Copies of this chain bind each other. A is one copy, B any other.
């Protein structure tokens, strides 16, 4: 290991196509339109071969996109770089808020599949008010070999009790279709 320098910083980046894919001037007024963006990002990430079959987006109360994320674990050599985490850190960088809703706004995270144990835990501190979930963990398990990890038994209730509303099965079938497409391409599981 000697010779390799100590790293005192790290950078995480989204693929170049993301900036072209997302219309930041548009409003996404409801659960379905918000989830459609998250699923589209997941699908594009598979098509562009820039990461795993997962997408996420954060919306302000007026329906504008604050930030988006796609899975970048392999490209960024970072186990943190799941879609939800990429959305959280780029949203927080943009707003310069370590807890998004500390500025008085209301924020929604739409994610194409149920958060794994890492992204679930991160959701408590990021400052979101609503969590929209497409595919279930069971779908991820059925259609891919991605590991979702252990959660508290009443995982959704834990979020709700801390003021984060959870709405599941939002466009579940299209969300499942992206997972199946990734499997059919022989995408790596990690």
Which A residues form the contact surface with B (CB < 8 A)? 1-2, 4-14, 16, 18-19, 22, 24-25, 60, 64, 66-67, 73-74, 76-81, 85, 88-99, 116-122, 124-127, 147, 149-153, 155, 158, 190
What are the residues of chain B within 8 A of A118 when measuring CB–CB?
Answer: 118, 121-122, 124-125
User: A6, B67: Cβ atoms under 8 Å?
Assistant: yes
Query: Given A14-B8, A117-B121, A152-B150: A98 and B127 within 8 A (CB)?
Result: no
Query: Given A99-B79, A153-B153: A90 and B122 within 8 A (CB)?
Result: no
* Chain B nearest CB, measured from A83 CB (Å): 14
Cα–Cα, bound, A90→B14 (Å)? 18
* Chain B nearest CB, measured from A63 CB (Å): 11
* Chain B nearest CB, measured from A5 CB (Å): 7
* Chain B nearest CB, measured from A129 CB (Å): 14
